[in-house]
Amino acid sequence: MKLPRHAPKGHTTIQYRTFKRFNKDIFLFDISCAPFSNVYSFNDPDDAMLAWYNIFMPIIDKHAPLRKKRVKHPKLPPWLTKDVIGAMAIRDRLKKEKKFDDFKKQRNRVKSLVRSAKKAYFDKLVETDKSTSMIWKAINEITNKSNRKTNNTTPPI
């Protein structure tokens, strides 16, 4: 049996609250009906905070429930701007609607926006601090080189 040269990078899961069906008026009504006056019956601040938390969290969970999502990278790259994300959403919508001519134009626009955003980010990174360490940091980010050294040799079996 051969072992893989390196372990495959797995997906991670993130938790977030979804506000898809959030209704501000109903949320405020539920908050106003909650028995927050019970919190004042505690002398210890930690107990009072725990009581408040136990009253508040079920309301939050009802109106903005926690969801789990599997993602490749939990952090977005620093060069990814709102303009690029918006253009990507338009591109994906055009592809879903099967408007292939418009999709191709938008795909090329996204590629151009990504290139210019990366260039602007790395130019700013190098310009703000011209020290050797910052230049190497920028080079390592550009080349996707991680700080950890990987062992590409397979262990003997």
* Alpha-carbon torsion (103, 109, 111, 117), positive or negative: negative
Instruction: Inform me whether the pLDDT recorded for 62 exceeds 50.
Output: yes
R_g of the chain computed on alpha carbons: 25
Strands, DSSP E only, in the chain? 12-17, 66-71
pTM for the model stands at 0.52
Instruction: Inform me whether the pLDDT recorded for 5 exceeds 90.
Output: no
Instruction: Indicate the Cα dihedral angle 37, 42, 45, 51, nearest 10°.
Output: -60
Count CA within 13 A, CB hemisphere, residue 36.
12
Looking at residue 137, its pLDDT comes to 76
Better-predicted residue by pLDDT, 89 or 156:
89
Query: What are the tokens at 43?
Result: 């002398």
Q: Mean pLDDT across the stretch 116-124?
A: 88
